[in-house]
């Protein structure tokens, strides 16, 4: 649960001058998935999380190749025989870059988490009869949020089914917008789950296991499950400043020796075997693909020792060998003035 100690600390005063940094109006809000902060496959993968999940072959056959948001009679019969139970799981988006476009507030995602519905501060399971009686389409038509959702501490706040409330005085990047809700079934057949289309066949098997383990594993505790986004507040601060200058990098990007570029699915890339197979050089906090610039936000805690500096230098040399420039910015400098740091990025890009 969110408490005052779970707030994002050391916020630079400069950021409070940004539009809608605090005090969002009660206008409709939409998440701009078309921005370049993540690769196209990641966007498509997240947007397919709808209705009852995961998509098993048995349901594809029973529904003649079409799966619907609301549960069908055919799927209901399959789940009933299995005595299945469900958890409702929301895709919670933290956003930045709020701007008014003809009365609608547009924003870009900087973090995506999965979070289950709860009752009396415990994870809630629902039976198949209840799932049939409700409308998933209707649930997803509501503008629901979590007030005080900190992805860096995996802390969640008060659930507001009606969206923004009058007089809210909270930093807009601490609001968790529910973009979609899906129903996770247990148990399910891991071997019959139909994965999304993956162009890179080398990663397909590992990615399918990752989806089953992260997207479709039942929640046991009320702890948000982060699947993509900035890893630290200093990254968020720099991102907000860069956006103010019109700079739009990819967030958390894996870079391989052959120029392989992919958004970082956190636990997927924890696999050392997979990193070796793809000859991953590093994970850039921000990456500008057209200009081939990798930006790193280096905290003093992890990057000040001689060993860490030597490691960073080796990474920079390996990136340089494949035509990618590196720019390292210390966390203290970002906290002191994210705008000055963003101007350093702008200078290198130009």
38-72: per-residue pLDDT in tens?
888 888 888 889 999 999 999 999 999 888 889 99
The pLDDT of residue 265 is above 90: no
Query: If residue 263 lies in a helix (H) or strand (E), which one and from where to where?
Result: strand 261-263
Please tell me the predicted confidence (pLDDT) of residue 177: 94
Same domain, 245 and 335: yes
Mean pLDDT of 308-328: 94
Q: Which one has a higher pLDDT value, 271 or 316?
A: 316
The pLDDT of residue 7 is above 70: yes
Q: What's the chain's average pLDDT?
A: 90
Same domain, 135 and 217: yes
Question: Domain boundary at 203, 229, 255, which?
Answer: 229
Mean pLDDT of 104-126: 93
Please tell me the predicted confidence (pLDDT) of residue 267: 83
The pLDDT of residue 339 is above 90: yes
Question: Domain boundary at 229, 262, 296, which?
Answer: 229
The answer to whether 31 and 101 are in contact (CB under 8 A) is no
Please tell me the predicted confidence (pLDDT) of residue 197: 67
Mean pLDDT of 273-294: 93
Note if the bond before 44 is cis, omega within 30 degrees.
Answer: no
CA distances (Å), origin 214, targets 193, 209, 211, 217, 297: 14, 9, 5, 6, 27
Range of the domain at 175: 4-229
Query: If residue 59 lies in a helix (H) or strand (E), which one and from where to where?
Result: helix 57-62
Note if the bond before 82 is cis, omega within 30 degrees.
Answer: no
Q: In 160-305, which residue ranges form alpha helices assigned H by DSSP?
A: 201-214, 233-244, 272-277, 300-303
Same domain, 100 and 8: yes
Same domain, 109 and 190: yes
Please tell me the predicted confidence (pLDDT) of residue 4: 61
Half-sphere exposure of 286 (CA within 13 A, CB side): 30
Same domain, 21 and 81: yes
Distance CA 262, CA 132 (A): 38
pLDDT confidence tier of residue 242, bands split at 50, 70 and 90: very high
Please tell me the predicted confidence (pLDDT) of residue 80: 93
pLDDT confidence tier of residue 282, bands split at 50, 70 and 90: very high
Question: Domain boundary at 229, 259, 292, which?
Answer: 229
Please tell me the predicted confidence (pLDDT) of residue 273: 85
Distance CA 350, CA 348 (A): 5
The pLDDT of residue 126 is above 80: yes
pTM for the full model? Answer: 0.93
Same domain, 27 and 75: yes
Same domain, 184 and 112: yes
Residue 138: other Cβ atoms inside 10 A: 10
Please tell me the predicted confidence (pLDDT) of residue 3: 67
Same domain, 240 and 201: no
Same domain, 284 and 211: no
pLDDT confidence tier of residue 161, bands split at 50, 70 and 90: confident
- Crossing angle of helices 338-349 and 233-244, in 10° steps, is 60
- Picking from 182, 190, 231, the residue whose alpha carbon sits closest to that of residue 211 is 190
Tokens of 257: 């020796």
Query: If residue 285 lies in a helix (H) or strand (E), which one and from where to where?
Result: strand 280-288
Same domain, 199 and 335: no
* Model pLDDT for residues 74-83, shown as the tens digit of each residue: 999 999 998 9
């Amino acid at each position: 649960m969110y408490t005052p100690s779970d707030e994002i600390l050391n916020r630079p005063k400069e950021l409070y001058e940004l539009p809608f940094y605090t005090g969002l109006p009660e206008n409709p809000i939409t998440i701009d998935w078309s921005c370049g902060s993540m690769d196209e496959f990641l966007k498509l993968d997240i947007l397919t999380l709808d209705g009852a999940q995961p998509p098993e072959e048995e349901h594809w056959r029973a529904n003649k190749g079409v799966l619907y948001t609301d549960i069908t009679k055919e799927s209901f019969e399959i789940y009933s025989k299995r005595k299945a139970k469900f958890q409702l799981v929301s895709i919670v988006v933290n956003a930045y870059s709020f701007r008014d476009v003809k009365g609608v507030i547009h924003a870009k995602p900087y973090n995506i988490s999965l979070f289950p519905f709860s009752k009396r501060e415990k994870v809630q399971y629902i039976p198949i009869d209840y799932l049939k009686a409700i409308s998933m389409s209707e649930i997803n038509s509501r503008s629901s949020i979590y007030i005080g959702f900190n992805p860096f501490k995996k802390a969640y706040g008060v659930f507001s089914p009606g969206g923004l409330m009058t007089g809210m005085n909270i930093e807009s990047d601490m609001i968790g917008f529910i973009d979609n809700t899906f129903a996770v079934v247990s148990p399910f057949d891991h071997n019959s789950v139909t994965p999304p289309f993956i162009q890179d066949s080398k990663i397909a098997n590992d990615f399918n296991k990752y989806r089953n383990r992260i997207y479709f594993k039942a929640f046991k505790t009320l702890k948000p499950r982060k699947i993509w986004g900035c890893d630290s507040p200093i990254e968020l601060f720099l991102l907000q400043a860069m956006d103010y200058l019109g700079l739009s990098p990819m967030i958390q990007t894996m870079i391989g020796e052959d120029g392989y570029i992919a958004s970082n699915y956190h636990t997927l890339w924890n696999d050392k075997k997979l990193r070796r197979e793809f000859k991953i050089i590093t994970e850039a906090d921000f990456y500008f693909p057209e200009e081939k610039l990798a930006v790193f936000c280096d905290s003093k805690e992890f990057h000040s020792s001689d060993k860490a500096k030597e490691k960073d230098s080796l990474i920079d040399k390996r990136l340089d060998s494949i035509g990618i420039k590196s720019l390292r910015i210390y966390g203290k400098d970002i906290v002191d003035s994210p705008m000055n740091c963003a101007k350093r990025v702008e200078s290198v890009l130009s």
